[in-house]
Chains A and B, each alone.
Chain A
Amino acid sequence: MNDPQPPPLVRIDGVTKRFGEVTAVDDVSLDIQKGELFAILGASGCGKTTLLRMLAGFEQPTSGRILIDGADMTDVPPYERPVNLMFQSYALFPHMTVEQNVAYGLKKEGVPAPQIRERVAEMLAMVKLGPLAGRKPEKLSGGEKQRVALARSLVKRPKLLLLDEPLAALDKKLREHTQFELANIQYQLGTTFVVVTHDQDEAMTLASRIAVMHEGKIAQVGTPGEVYEYPANRYVAGFVGNINLIEGRVTGRANGRLTLHCDALDADLEAACEEVPAAGETVTVAVRPEKITISREAPAGADRNVVKGVVRDLGYFGDQSLYRVRARSGAVVQVSAQNLRRSAKLIVEWDDEVFLSWEVGSTILLRT
């Protein structure tokens, strides 16, 4: 009762999975709280699908344990777990109608028929598929199939719902719409969702917390904001969003601020820093493109975090413009700027000499 942090719904405790020589998941530990919409984000082959399949029970960990709601699930087969999975391929039974597909899990559970009918109807109403209850999956659109799959995996009221790339098979417009709908349903039901995805936008918009996986390990766990603005390492910084990685040599440290010189950009940079790297050490800093201001005049009163360069590439997207600016040494910095003022003419054009500047707080110091 005095425990401020309730026990996690899912505890992944030192789980390793090897397939022969290949280590797919390497000593992963994760706690997922009840009611969270948790995303596991990573490139293909990072081990996220294996981790998901171990949560569902299709794979056994080589070592380590998986606890769900306090119960050790490591050796429990999939058909006895309080977990359901929405497959990337949806895996709808083609010989059953929408209604039969959704009812299947309840039938296997031995729920009485009148209750099944009621719960299936309720579920189909929630995903707005009531009128299509009698159809076979082959007669459904991609979005409709996705909703049937969702209804089927939720109807058993699992403690944990796993979603394998839930939006990957949908086209862009539908994906944006479904994204919000999915988050909405999760909020309504309060079910814990774990979404596995390679798509950072999907993870960022859906999830309350994200675990970034890389080569079988967790690279970082945090809220979308933490992962984006405070990446823990070079991999996360590069994988989530666009970023400029800059190498610099430490020149000094004062007032919790680190100064360094970057030869490639011929600029003095400044970053907030608590630890003390030795003077002369080479470190990597990173700046997001949208944190950089681009202007034709030198920013007044600033001599750090200012880079001079020439616009080499320009992409106009309407709402924003993307610039690739080359410094004298040849190093390229990406900058994005919102087109806040209505104007058919761009403020900065090709081959313009420009100054790039950013605030001290925007410099991300990456130690690993």
Chain B
Amino acid sequence: MSDAAEGHDDRSLRWLRRAVKFPYFWLLLFFLAPFLIILKISLADPVVAQPPFTPLLEWGAEGFEGLRITFSNYVFLFKDGYYGIIYLSSLKMAAIGTLLCLLLGYPMAYFIARQPPSRRHLLLLAVILPFWISFLLRVYAWIGLLNNRGVINELLLWTGVIDAPIQMLYNDFAVYLGIVYSYLPFMILPLYANLERHDLDLLDAAADLGARRWRAFVDVTLPLSAPGIIGGCLLVFIPAVGEFTIPALLGGADTLMIGRVLWDEFFVNRDWPVASAVSVVLLLLLIAPIMWFQRLQAREQETGR
């Protein structure tokens, strides 16, 4: 190879290396940096000032005097049972919402994946169509539907099915409905991507070896769709835990979700350090399932040997 060609190769390689680094740069800028700022605030004391927390670095007359770190916010979180209950309640509501999404989304994804290709695209389009409208507007629209004087209650009253309106809004039911409605596409898409690639000969093979249709589904389709199930569940569960809009708009006073607490700490109490500690703990809670999934995948690859 000539020197010139090598030089050219070298240059394009250097650019490639830079390009490969770009995602890291992105993560650093938009994920790690904000996290570090939040972490820093969570270790400070609240003050009535601008900004409303004590600085990390202490500067005195002789210059740098030391770091000012306090864990009192975390201690407060753990001592006050209120936060623990809310974390648990958020996890529970997100888990139930995720399960509902799975139960609803799996048959839908399965159905779409077994359609002729031309119809599949149309159905997928229908699944992602709601994204064309603002999320906030769509959640608001549910208020109009679920209200005591809303479309559904009015219709039921008018047809005489009920005598008095059913309370459907401002309770946990409305929050679950909102979660399922908003996050269903995030469940369907990874499931579809998985199910669509399945080799249908495998089901014939299972039938040939003595499995009825349902048995073949349980033995073959279900285990092979596990990555899709886990992927879809993470995509729904993680944002649902920290969801603010849905419980704020559709939930009742007794709907306990961490997103609302965060809002209250930041904007009502103006206690930024405690609010930051709440979100750091939330992050740690959410990293756990992701790590678990990663380890599961790594193990899967190892045993595939």
Contact = CB atoms under 8 A, between A and B. Distances in A.
A, B bound: yes
Interface residues on A, range: 20 to 34
Interface in A39-92: 56-58, 77-80, 83-85, 87, 89, 91-92
B206 interface: yes
A235 interface: no
B3 interface: no
A95 B211 contact: no
A128 interface: no
A92 B180 CA distance: 36
B209 A108 contact: yes
B210 A156 contact: yes
B199 interface: yes
A108 B201 contact: no
B298 to A, nearest CB: 16
A143 B207 CA distance: 24
B119 interface: no
Nearest to B216: A79
Contacts of B303: 136
Residue in B206, B208, B305 with the greatest tally of chain A CB atoms within 10 Å: B208
Contacts of A78: 204, 207-208
B304 A79 contact: no
A91 B210 contact: no
Contacts of B296: none
Contacts of B206: 93, 104
Given A91-B199, A95-B224, A104 B204 contact: no
Nearest to B220: A93
A328 interface: no
Given A93-B220, A108-B215, A87 B205 contact: yes
Contact of A56 (B199, B208, B210): B208
B144 interface: no
B202 interface: yes
B304 A136 contact: yes
Interface in A125-169: 135-136, 138-139, 152-153, 156
A14 interface: no
Interface in A257-310: none
A139 B205 contact: no
Contacts of B208: 56-57, 78-79, 83-85, 153
B115 to A, nearest CB: 18
Given A93-B220, A108-B215, A136-B304, A77 B201 contact: no
Interface string B189-230: 000000000010110111111111001000110011000000
A104 B259 CA distance: 48
Contacts of B205: 85, 87, 91-93
A135 B305 CA distance: 6
Contacts of A319: none
A93 B210 contact: no
B26 to A, nearest CB: 33
B218 to A, nearest CB: 12
B224 A91 contact: no
Given A89-B201, A94-B224, A108-B215, A139 B305 contact: yes
B204 A91 contact: yes
Contacts of A136: 303-305
Given A79-B207, A139-B305, A91 B215 contact: no
Given A87-B205, A105-B210, 17 more contacts: A58-B204, A58-B207, A77-B207, A78-B204, A79-B207, A87-B204, A89-B199, A93-B205, A93-B219, A104-B206, A104-B209, A108-B211, A108-B215, A136-B305, A138-B304, A153-B208, A153-B209
The 5 lowest CB-CB distance pairs between A and B, nearest first, are: A108-B210, A105-B209, A91-B205, A91-B201, A78-B207
11 contacts: A77-B207, A78-B204, A78-B208, A79-B209, A87-B204, A93-B202, A95-B224, A105-B209, A108-B211, A153-B208, A156-B210
